[in-house]
Amino acid sequence: MKNTLILLLTLSLFAIGCDDDEGSNPDDNQVTEGWEVGNRALDFELEDADGNMVSLTDYRGKVVLMEFWDLDCSICMAEMPDVERLWDDYRGRGDFVIIGLSQNLDETRWQNYVTATGNSGFPRDWVQVFDSHLQPNVFSRYRVTKTPMRLLLDENGVILHREFDGVEMRTLVEEELDIQ
What average pLDDT values come out for the chain (180 residues) when binned by 10 residues? 43 40 52 92 90 93 96 92 92 94 87 79 86 75 93 97 92 92
pTM, to two decimals: 0.80
Q: Which CATH class is domain 31-176?
A: alpha beta
Contact between 39 and 26 (Cβ < 8 Å): no
Alpha carbon distances (Å) from 150 to 58, 108, 135, 142, 146: 19, 24, 21, 10, 10
How is residue 146 annotated by DSSP? S
Query: How many angstroms separate the CA atoms of 128 and 126, rounded?
Result: 6
- Nearest one of 159, 129, 165 to 147, comparing CA atoms: 165
Instruction: Please tell me the predicted confidence (pLDDT) of residue 131.
Output: 85
Mean pLDDT of the chain: 82
Domain ranges of the chain: 31-176
Query: How many angstroms separate the CA atoms of 3 and 85, rounded?
Result: 63
